[in-house]
Amino acid sequence: MPKEPKTGYDPGLGRKFIFVTGGVMSGLGKGITAASTGRLLANAGFDVTAVKIDPYLNVDAGTMNPYQHGEVYVLKDGGEVDLDLGNYERFLGVDMTSDHNVTTGKTYQEVIERERAGDYLGKTVQIIPHITDDIKRRIREAAAGTDVCIVEVGGTVGDIEGMPYLEALRQFAHEESPENILFAHVTLVPYSKNGEQKTKPTQHSVKELRSIGLQPDIVVGRCDDELETATKEKIALFCDVPTDAVFSNPDVEDIYHVPLMIESENLDEYIMQQLGLAAESLPPSQRDNRWRELVTRERSGTVDIALVGKYDIEDAYMSVYEALKHAGIEERVDVNVLWVDSDEMLDRHESRLEEADGIVVPGGFGSRGTPGKIKAIQYCRERDVPFLGLCLGFQMAVVEHARNVLHLNSAHSAELDSETPHPVIDILPEQYEVEDLGGTMRLGAHTTEISGGSLAEWIYNDTVCTERHRHRYEVNPAYIDELESGALTFSGCAGNRMEILERTDHPFFFGTQFHPEFRSRPDRASPPFVSFIQSVKNELDARRLRDEEVEI
């Protein structure tokens, strides 16, 4: 029998919730597993959203070091969030808000502020019920208006930071009708030295979960290969789930193939059966099949793109990598990204860059590595190599032009050199009195006006674009006339803020103060990235023609 809802509580009007937990170790890919499941449910006709729970004490991800947590992903409302939200947007094809990222910092801040305001009427404020109630409230509000909400709990079962969240989920399941709730646990299935798939880590992880009062309905085993039948049976026996509720999620060549793997395992069909959605889903013949068509699309050839940055981990530039991949899908080429450490550029920049067909200089903060980025931009300008600069890459293109074309010696960004005689990049006017670093930059979606007849207008096929921002400094208005005295032009602006630059003496030299990579999707590739890859292909075709003429 369905449980009676608590007094004054709206049970969600039949919304379905899938709670995804992880065990054994972090970085297993539970976010990709959850996002892929959501993609398949969306294909079946359901309105799907997601919530990412991050148990850290930070209010948001804005002040985190990329080495520790990967890139800071920016949402349309300016929320600085975990990179998993980027995966959810890319897989589900939806735009989320900061409400879809729950952190311990947000929750405790809210509860403490309410306590200070006297909202608890003299009660002793505690983890239970006040913190857990706030967690549940946030999940329900984020799920409003959708059919299915997937909630991923960051970290692993047993982490002390995650305990209030797991308790909140236990209460959540108690308050909801059983047919509206499903728990999926993603865990590691390693190999022993003799090649045997080992289930003991999974057993211990599920035991820990059950000790908290949560019983998984589904166990997903992450392994190099598909789980063997005997492995599934053993997990089912010791974790108290049916054998057909144990699923494989093996390594695949591309993360965009994970939905295809999950579909082949029938995980989506099992979930719909358990949640009572099967009868409402579209029949297989009518489901949206565009995802499969996109990710399996044939490619002809490969382009090599140098990514010049200072963080030598792919997660620090995840959205840039993915946007390049999306552009490759649209242009039907494989994009091979060559990592170039900007710290080492000054010693061997030409030998490394000569391997590339095009160069991307992404965003970042701090002065380390910027001399190498400037050198890479100079290389592109002087050798007509297709160039795409993003945020700091855009700003360093301005600095390179000021130094090497206008001969403004020691020109720089005031952020990186407070003593520069030519601060061609300076702080935003509204930032002068800012003291806190978190959440105080120019963040989120803003509209840019595009000049008619420009490369930017051709790229966007419009005279306006809306893209996401994350910066505190911008082009100094005092230098704009001088900067535009030659081939460099600012073809996009927002008032007196310069947003897009391009060069009229170059095949493709394009920079943006904003981050177009954050809005790129497999089925909606970012226009600057698509045009960049098109330019690279055009340059390669022209080079082949020249080589053929020389041979003749």
DSSP 8-class letter at 131: I
* Active site (annotated) includes residue 515: yes
**Among the listed residues 436, 425, 357, the one whose alpha carbon sits nearest the alpha carbon of residue 395:** 425
Exposed/middle/buried for residue 427 (C-beta within 10 Å: 0-12, 13-18, 19+): middle
Q: What is the SS3 string spanning 249-299? A: EECCCCHHHHHHHHHHCCHHHHHHHHCCCHHHCCCHHHCCCHHHHHHCCCC
Phi and psi at 210, nearest 5°, equal: -70, -30
* Active site (annotated) includes residue 391: yes
Tokens in use for 476?
A: 């100094």
Exposed/middle/buried for residue 397 (C-beta within 10 Å: 0-12, 13-18, 19+): buried
Q: How far apart, in whole angstroms, are the C-alpha atoms of residue 179 and residue 177? A: 6
Query: How many CB atoms lie under 10 A from the CB of residue 113?
Result: 10
**Active-site choice (167, 474, 517, 539):** 517
Q: How far apart, in whole angstroms, are the C-alpha atoms of residue 38 and residue 35? A: 5
Q: How far apart, in whole angstroms, are the C-alpha atoms of residue 539 and residue 464? A: 28
Q: What is the separation, in whole angstroms, between the first and last Cα of the chain?
A: 82
**Active-site choice (391, 471, 474, 539):** 391
Q: What is the torsional sign of CA 172, 177, 180, 186? A: positive
Q: What is the torsional sign of CA 295, 257, 217, 133? A: negative
Which active-site residues does the annotation give?
Answer: 391, 515, 517
